[in-house]
Amino acid sequence: MRVAITTPEFLADWGGVGTYAALLVKNLPEEFEIDVITLKPSKKIDNVSYREAFERATIHIIGSANDTFIYNSLFQLNLMRKIRSLQNEQRFDILHANHAQMPDLLLKFFRIGIPSVTTIHTTLKSQMMGTSSSRLRLNEMERSEKMTALFSPALLAAERMYVERCENLIFVSHYIQKLFEASFGKPERFKVIHNGIDTNLFRPRDEKECYNYFPMLEGRENILLFIGRMLALKGLDVLIDSFARIIQEIDAHLVLAGAGNFEPWKKRLLRKNIPESKYTFLGRVPYYKIPFLYPLASVFTLPSYSESFPLTILEAMSCGIPVVATDVGGIPEMIENGVNGFLIKPGDPTALAERISQILLCKEKTMELARKGRVRAVTEFSAKRMANETAEMYKRVIEVAK
């Protein structure tokens, strides 16, 4: 069987979809021949952790992009122009796309004779609700959030046209399934397949080994870690406000890693009288280094206003790091409050500060959360499990299409 995975983003460039695609390629059963149709990324992306993904797949570069908003439309146009010649050369049995980017949007209006599966990672409505909940002004938002807000009517209309033409869907969480059905109705064929991660790559590690990758963090105590894009919907306002409270009582250090404009958040740190010596902004960290960043943290936090099923929480759990996150989206499907992590309501810096402080001050509780988090990540959320379930979906769709 030959599957074509259409994804403007392959590898961890702008967001989690690229990671999802690479892990899927790496872990699909050997019976599948895999083609990845993608764009040349805006920056050189490391492939150290993805050699197996590249070896498994034939990569087709159909353009390039340097922007997190317009790259989707460029990809849609190029895919429409080149899909027939690619199909004549490779004879795909099935096409796999990710709804977040709608890469095959234009193909939905033409009959190309290839069965397709679409993974629904989130919806535009969910993203916009999360951004608006942050109460940030438009000029404080990251570029992609600004563009989504400005063009929301057209984007929502395009999304509806797209999903109405998607017959076979994979949802990354039960939350996304319910949210989708509330907006668009129940799809003809679907399956919930939770995201998975490489639990061998993301594992507890010796701190000395990790300092080789992040020497600037050596000697820092009580590291509070955030990994993600510098987006309003990620709850960075709440994180900064809570950190200002934490350091009044505890000697802690905030580490932020991820792409995007840090300036609005740096200004907020300044307004909260948080000295530069108390935080480190790493910017975009190459993916192969990320497994060595988590083990340096005392706690990982994701105080988002909206999420679908974030890989970063699974990665932290798999590394044996306790997690404090918000009770939104699909997060409760991976964290049981007080058992393998803590959940708080979004927009509550007091609750976030209290839970983080509890972890920093109670080492026994920390060890128990970490142990149970690692066990759950390994047993329930491996990339191999995700890929095997996806392969079964492929076979089902191909059989129905015969």
Give pLDDT, residue 365: 80
* 201-239 burial code (b ≥16 CB/10 A, e <16): bbbeeeeeebeebbeebeebebbbbbbbbbbbbbbbbbb
Flag whether pLDDT at 116 surpasses 70: yes
Which residue has better confidence, 364 or 387? 387
In the chain, DSSP finds a helix count (H) and a strand count (E) of: 14, 13
DSSP label at residue 324: E
pLDDT more than 90, % of the chain: 58
Is 183 in contact with 125 (CB distance < 8 Å)?
yes
Flag whether pLDDT at 258 surpasses 90: yes
Is 401 in contact with 213 (CB distance < 8 Å)?
no
Domains of the chain with bracketed CATH: 2-196+382-401 (3.40.50.2000), 207-380 (3.40.50.2000)
Flag whether pLDDT at 222 surpasses 90: yes
Q: How confident is the model at residue 13 (pLDDT cuts 50, 70, 90)?
A: low
- Cα separations in angstroms, 33 against 52, 252, 381: 14, 49, 24
- Residue 224: strand pairing partners: 254, 299
- Report the C-alpha gap between 37 and 21 in whole angstroms: 11
- Residue-wise pLDDT for 46-92, tens only, equals 555 556 667 889 988 887 655 555 556 677 777 778 888 888 899 99
Give pLDDT, residue 207: 95
Instruction: Write the DSSP assignment of 271-308 as a string of letters.
Output: HTT--GGGEEEEES--GGGGGGTGGG-SEEEE--S--S
- Report the C-alpha gap between 186 and 171 in whole angstroms: 12
Angle at 111 between CA 105 and CA 114, to 5 degrees: 85
- Report the C-alpha gap between 178 and 169 in whole angstroms: 13
Listed residue (306, 292, 296) closest to 255, CA to CA: 296
Residue 260: how many other CB atoms lie within 10 Å: 23
> What distance, in Å, lies between the first and last C-alpha atoms of the chain?
14
